[in-house]
Amino acid sequence: MNNVSKGKVALVTGGTKGIGKAIADQLSNAGIQVIITARTAPGESTAGQYFIPADLAQPESAETIAGEILGKYGRIDIIINNTGANLSPGGGFSTLSDEHWNNDWQTNFMSAVRINKALLPAMIEQKSGVIVNISTGAAKLPLWEMTMSYSSAKAALNAYSKALANEVATYGIRVNVVSPGLVKTPLMSEFIENLAKSSAVTSDEVHKSVIDKLNVPIGRMAEPEEIANLVTFLVSPEAKYITGVNYSVDGGALPTI
Ligand SMILES: NC(=O)c1ccc[n+]([C@@H]2O[C@H](COP(=O)([O-])OP(=O)(O)OC[C@H]3O[C@@H](n4cnc5c(N)ncnc54)[C@H](OP(=O)(O)O)[C@@H]3O)[C@@H](O)[C@H]2O)c1
């Protein structure tokens, strides 16, 4: 465990499963009070974590979450915008309707923009805070047949994060992006199952073909904790000079430097 400052309040959106859960668990294990959000409550509650139900694709959710956090804890030190999913079918441009584009945009981009807008005034007043936006390697390596609208929404998240980092740095607030490659999460299992069904092959074959297609040098998917390790470092005081950066954690999959 990295040295993370204690007595702080953190929000992890989508903190009930996968990467978000791994991040929430590492932060609460470090003594930070963690607020997790999702549409569905977690099966069991975890010490040091408080759940707020919310659909972040809905515009009104961010203000509700911010109001509850600031009302209950009076401050916010860390925001992890982790909510996201590839919501559209494969098949390329002609299969994507306006609704598909809008769903991906709301879930993967506007969710983070609205949460930050609702909570940044409190961070600015505190003159401190750290934000990590969870993007994807697919924003730099979009696959037209699988991730067109999702990659585009996450690419917007990357550009927004850089602009925001520049805007708020003088208030003592840092903003970074973490871009996972392939990670073993419920989202990934669902993606593989759906692809297997639509291509009439087994899940194991799809799993192998996805790793082969992305040519992952380390040769396997990441565990959620391997993404959380970097996020936990980035929100710690040790990372206090790091802002405006997009970090890949992808087993070497991105073929450029
Ligand atoms: N897994 C990968 O290989 C991979 C790779 C690159 C990037 N990422 C990114 O990493 C992040 C986490 O992915 P994951 O694989 O850990 O996903 P996951 O296992 O599906 O977990 C997603 C979390 O977000 C919540 N969520 C989803 N849609 C939501 C919505 N509209 N409103 C509120 N909460 C919502 C889910 O809970 P509910 O369903 O109950 O709402 C859950 O807590 C995402 O941003 C994803 O794009 C993942």
Give me 101's structure tokens.
């584009």
C-alpha 216 to ligand 1 mean position (Å): 22
CB 52 within 8 A of CB 111: no
Across the beta sheet with 173-180, what order do the strands follow? Answer: 49-53, 33-38, 9-13, 78-81, 129-134, 173-180, 246-249
- Axis-axis angle for helices 224-234, 18-29 (nearest 10): 50
CATH code for the part of the protein at 9-182+224-249: 3.40.50.720
C-alpha 143 to ligand 1 mean position (Å): 19
Question: Does position 62 have pLDDT exceeding 50, yes or no?
Answer: yes
Give me 118's structure tokens.
């609702």
Is residue 19 in contact with ligand 1, taking CB distance under 6 Å? yes
Q: Ligand 1 test: best mutation among 17, 88, 108, 115, most atoms within 8 Å of CB?
A: 17
Average of pLDDT values for 153-160?
98
Question: Does position 3 have pLDDT exceeding 60, yes or no?
Answer: no
Give me 218's structure tokens.
């380390």
Q: Write down the pLDDT at residue 2.
A: 43
d(CA 15, CA 56): 12
**49-74 in b/e burial notation, b at 16+ Cβ within 10 A?**
bbbbebebbeeebbeebbeebbeebe
Half-sphere exposure of 5 (CA within 13 A, CB side): 16
Helices (H) and strands (E) in the chain, counts: 8, 7
C-alpha 120 to ligand 1 mean position (Å): 23
C-alpha 15 to ligand 1 mean position (Å): 8
Q: Write down the pLDDT at residue 234.
A: 98
CB-CB neighbours of 145 under 10 Å: 9
Q: Write down the pLDDT at residue 6.
A: 65
Radius of gyration of the chain (CA): 18
C-alpha 125 to ligand 1 mean position (Å): 30
Residue 244 is classified by DSSP as S
d(CA 186, CA 27): 21
Is residue 178 in contact with ligand 1, taking CB distance under 6 Å? no
d(CA 159, CA 100): 21
pLDDT band at 190 (very low <50, low <70, confident <90, very high): confident
140-154, 191-205, 215-229, 231-245: segment of lowest average pLDDT = 191-205
Residue 59 is classified by DSSP as T
Place of tokens 């470092």: 233
Q: Ligand 1 test: best mutation among 34, 39, 86, most atoms within 8 Å of CB?
A: 39
**Beta carbons within 8 Å of 239's beta carbon, 6+ residues apart:** 130, 174, 233
- Residue nearest atom 20 in ligand 1 by C-alpha distance: 187
Give me 65's structure tokens.
């979450």
Which residue among the candidates 50, 73, 150, 160 is catalytic per the annotation?
150
Average of pLDDT values for 119-127?
98
The answer to whether residue 247 is catalytic is no
Ligand 1 atom with the shortest distance to the CA of 55: 32
Domain ranges of the chain: 9-182+224-249
Is residue 82 in contact with ligand 1, taking CB distance under 6 Å? yes
- Residue nearest atom 8 in ligand 1 by C-alpha distance: 136
CB 122 within 8 A of CB 75: yes
Average of pLDDT values for 25-33?
97
